[in-house]
Structure 1
């Protein structure tokens, strides 16, 4: 797993002893760990990157639920494992409803957190790969001319060159030239690939 994209585990908890013990456990399993003593500490010092979060749901000032909401508003996306103490289960459930991946109730075993962290990092790496692929397609799409985008849209909708020519008021030969340029610029080896790329572009619109 660790020969893939570098990933970091972010621990956000106001309990220093807990942060220290979790950091030791995770680093002993060859994970990269960064700790924060509060939600504000995280929001101020987080520099971006691929990873997951161990988040204490009950913290002074800004609690875990509020941090989740702020992260969503700021476009900070990562799998979150909520840490809850006794009596905080309802807050943990609320965090799950807001998109947290899972939750652990203190006290929990080292094996339990390592299992969830591995699962979260796998999900984080997959999401990063998907975002990278979408961005690569978007960059290719940005290189298309307005006419090439029009042709691409009609091609992926299943129209033949003759139909596209009639729709755009150009010759079938010109359509073929534009279509060839689209396939080249989009690095699409087939129509099926081009259709998949068009679907990814729609995710950004």
Structure 2
């Protein structure tokens, strides 16, 4: 349930807690820190909101303040379902004192941080802002990887072979020998692949290959 609209550039927090008083207090606290807040009374309600928002592009990106102990779906179950649905929102789990093992389990499942009750307002705000920052970095890396993969996918098979050779640190003449072609042909493929990748230097070409998930020899290759 939206508490206020999440306009462009706004920090967004999704509060998932079965305690109405906690939802109200967290919404007030976060709004005072400049967040747009959406509150959900259960894990099921949060996931239903995400499903309802999907045709319009999904829930607004923001951190999820997720209570671990709730009736019905607990926080761990919600995290698992978020992962299954591809909901890439950073999560801060809120847990009772003494539930650190459960919080560790949540962090192993991908939570950015955890806060123990009773918590201070400043701790919640700092955790939410840190989770948002990490989430923004993750999204930027994902965009970079997707863009790099799309550019690499445009290469011909032979251009990809030359790029793999370059990634292995081989010189043109060595790549030529390995592929059974002339050094001049390698130069042509190298020029073409750099043009398709939209790069000006070998280092940029290699960064693009690595961003696309390619790995140097000795590691898993595409």
Per the normalisation by structure 2, the TM-score is: 0.81
Task: Give the distance between the partners of 1:132 and 1:31, measured in 2 at CA.
Answer: 24
Distance verdict in 2 for CA 1:203–1:66, change over 3 Å? farther
> Which one of 17, 31, 36 corresponds to residue 35 of structure 2?
31
Task: Give the distance between the partners of 1:148 and 1:69, measured in 2 at CA.
Answer: 40
- Is the 1:86–1:105 Cα contact (8 Å) retained in structure 2? yes
Whether 1:58 and 2:69 are equivalent positions in the alignment is: yes
CA shift for structure 1 position 168: 2.2
Quote the residue 1:155 is aligned against. 166
Q: How many residues of Structure 1 are paired with residues of Structure 2 in the alignment? A: 202
Distance verdict in 2 for CA 1:177–1:75, change over 3 Å? same
Task: Look up the SS of the partner of 2:118 in the other structure.
Answer: coil
Whether 1:78 and 2:53 are equivalent positions in the alignment is: no
> Which one of 173, 180, 193 corresponds to residue 191 of structure 2?
180
- Is the 1:7–1:49 Cα contact (8 Å) retained in structure 2? no
CA shift for structure 1 position 171: 2.3
Q: What pairs up with 1:43-192 in 2 under 5 angstroms? A: 43-46=47-50, 47-86=58-97, 88-192=99-203
Task: Give the distance between the partners of 1:79 and 1:203, measured in 2 at CA.
Answer: 26
Task: Give the distance between the partners of 2:156 and 2:31, measured in 1 at CA.
Answer: 49
- Is the 2:10–2:35 Cα contact (8 Å) retained in structure 1? no
In structure 2, stretches of 5+ residues that fail to align are 1-7, 51-57, 216-221
Task: Give the distance between the partners of 1:50 and 1:131, measured in 2 at CA.
Answer: 14
Task: Look up the SS of the partner of 2:170 in the other structure.
Answer: coil
Whether 1:16 and 2:20 are equivalent positions in the alignment is: yes
Per the normalisation by structure 1, the TM-score is: 0.87
Show structure 1 runs of 4+ deviating over 3 A: 4-7, 86-90
CA RMSD of aligned residues (A): 2.3
Task: Look up the SS of the partner of 2:149 in the other structure.
Answer: helix
Quote the residue 2:45 is aligned against. 41
Task: Give the distance between the partners of 1:150 and 1:90, measured in 2 at CA.
Answer: 48
CA shift for structure 1 position 63: 0.4
Distance verdict in 2 for CA 1:22–1:144, change over 3 Å? same
Task: Look up the SS of the partner of 1:72 in the other structure.
Answer: helix
If asked which structure has higher relative contact order (CA below 8 Å, sep 6+), I would say 1
